[in-house]
Amino acid sequence: MELFLATLKTLLSVAVAAAVCYLFHHYSSRWLRFQRVRKKLCMQGITGPPPSFLSGNLHHMQQLQFKANKAGTHSEIVAHDYTSTLFRISITGENNTLGKDAYMTKVLKPMLGNGIIRSNGQLWAHQRKIIASEFFMDKVKGMVELMVESTAPLLKKWEATIDARGGRATEINVDDDFRSFSADVIARACFGSSYVKGKQIFSKLRSIRTTITEQGFLFGHSSSRFLPNNNKVSTLEREVELLIWETVKQRQQECFGKSLGQKDLMQHILESAVTDASVAPQKFIVDNCKNIYFAGHESTAITASWCLMLLALHPEWQSRIREEVAQVFTNGLPDADSISRLKMVTMVIQETMRLYPAGAFVTREALEETRMGNILVPKGVCIWTVIPTLHRDPDIWGPDANEFKPERFINGVSKACKSPQGYIPFGLGTRLCLGKNFAMVQLKVLLALIVSKFTFSLSPSYRHSPVFRMLVEPEHGVYIRIQKI
């Protein structure tokens, strides 16, 4: 008994000593440094609520999120400014002394690895060089036929659903169908496979995203993040990497001996990984495939859902698009030439991405002390640009900033607002989204074909509640009542 008590006493002493050491380390390495940085910012007029020792301002930010107000009726939806309740931070900027911030990249590692979205410096520049050329407009135009083919199953499914109800208006949840469509396009265009082959990859990546956001992606405590589900995330991460590598090996066999003109993005990534001795080939390939699978499918599908929601609220824009499509498409289908002449469709997409940009933030970390205008940003400070807030700023967009008015883009982005830097749905600067052209053409094809074949309105089942889950998406999905024309 005495031995047991002595052992217990020793263990308790060790535990207390470890706790004291942790608190001292936290105080000296984090708290004091944080206070020095905060003091520098406060001296320049940048203030905020006083932080606590262990959790900073996390509790304050969580409380603000809980106060989010929901729009009550369909008539309130467009004017409903969700940005002030979802997001409470906004400092902007971009130059060569800024990089992807350590906080966000650490959180995203299970899903994106060290691929192009998450990397910095030479690794990022090398990956961009490989991937960028595959999304130049001349190559994207060559994918229009593929995009039309990927749209066909969706249109047939909706037609069959309406026919099953005797041709009457039918309620449809569009979200999963748009995910399937965009996943099929990215899989076929970049990796030479169909959505059926990549279905497990997309599903598991989505599960990782869901788990990360459930554990407090934005305002969670970093010390406790993923503890309840860390095994789940790790397991999903390994499964995704295994599935991607199996796809890669199969693609290697299919592409063996093909000429350069026949090679797709995956083949270019394969060749670069083999010839570059500075990276581990398998990790390089898998990480970049993760990035392309995620970026090429989730954000486009979410934007398509928001487009349908807004068009359902504004049938006059459905009519304008329908008239334009009838004039532009000679045989009822888009091609590389006609897709660039869809002005009405383009305006609707641009206005949708202004009001509901899928990407919520541009985040950068000051890699060294950086001057931005009159503000001196200390090294290590994370700089956040909240895109939805920027897109709804009345000083930039005018008093109708919260209204759906696609006509504001009739003369392009430069004439739509007071500053072209006020519109950044694809980011800004050197890290502008590589898939911008690909996403825009894909959305044009999808919307043009849907509106040319169907008329639709918002279903009474629809509940307007934008939510941040790494991307800004409709929390309860988008439900429409749809009829064949």
* Cβ pair 460, 426 in contact under 8 A: no
CA–CA dist 38, 322 (Å, integer): 55
pLDDT band at 382 (very low <50, low <70, confident <90, very high): confident
Q: Which of 68, 456, 102, 116 is nearest to 269 (CA)?
A: 116
Q: What single string gives the DSSP state of each residue in 214-263? A: HTTTTTS-TTTTTTTTHHHHHHHHHHHHHHHHHHHHHHHHHHTT--GGG-
Three-class SS of 397-463: HCCCCCCCCHHHHCCCHHHHCCCHHHCCCCCCHHHCCCCHHHHHHHHHHHHHHHHHHEEEEECCCCC
Q: Where residue 266 falls among pLDDT bands split at 50, 70, 90?
A: confident
Phi, psi for 214 (deg, rounded to 5): -65, -30
Mean pLDDT on 219-244 = 69
What is the model's pLDDT at position 409?
96
Contact 475, 467 (CB under 8 A): yes
Could you give the percent of the chain with pLDDT greater than 90? 34
Task: Give whole-number Cα distances, 277 to 248, 284, 289, in Å.
Answer: 19, 11, 19
Mean pLDDT value across the chain: 81
Tell whether 307 is in a known binding site: no
- Once rounded to an integer, what is the mean pLDDT over residues 100-115? 74
Q: Does 93 have pLDDT greater than 60?
A: no
Going by C-beta distance under 8 Å and a sequence separation of 6 or more, which residues neighbour residue 437?
A: 135, 136, 137, 140
CB-count burial class (<10 Å; 0-12, 13-18, 19+) for 179: buried
pLDDT at 214: 73
Query: CA separation (Å) from 182 to 321, 347, 397?
Result: 21, 20, 31
Give whichever of 56-70, 392-406, 413-427, 463-477 has the largest mean pLDDT: 392-406
Average pLDDT of the residues in 301-330:
96
Helix (H) or strand (E) holding 473: strand 472-474
Read off the pLDDT band of 479 (50, 70, 90): very high
Cα separation values, 145 from 25, 197, 265, 311, 337, Å: 59, 20, 18, 25, 11
d(CA 159, CA 348): 24
Q: What is the pLDDT of residues 190-203, one digit of tens each?
A: 777 656 667 788 88
Dihedral sign from CA coordinates of 49, 55, 58, 60: negative
In the prediction, which pLDDT does 301 show? Answer: 95
131-156 pLDDT per residue, tens: 888 788 988 998 999 999 999 999 99
The end-to-end CA distance of the chain, in Å, is 85
Q: State both tokens at 306.
A: 């928001």
The dihedral through the CA atoms of 361, 367, 372, 378 has a sign that is positive
Which CATH code is given to the segment(s) 71-484?
1.10.630.10
For residue 440, the model assigns a pLDDT of: 96
Q: Poorest-confidence range of 164-173, 292-301, 443-452?
A: 292-301
Length of the chain equals 485
Q: Residue 356: how many CB atoms within 10 A of its CB?
A: 22
* pLDDT over 70 (residue 95): no
pLDDT at 277 exceeding the cut of 80: no
What's the pLDDT tens digit per position in 329-358? Answer: 988 899 999 999 999 999 999 999 999 999
Average pLDDT over residues 77-103: 60
Say what the pTM is: 0.82
Is residue 250 pLDDT above 60, yes or no? yes
Q: With 80 as the cut, is the pLDDT of residue 253 above it? A: no
The domain limits of the chain are: 71-484
pLDDT: which is higher, 262 or 86: 86
8 Å CB contact between 351 and 403: no
> Which residue in this structure is represented by tokens 């500053």?
419
Among 267, 274, 268, 255, which Cα is nearest to 130's? 268
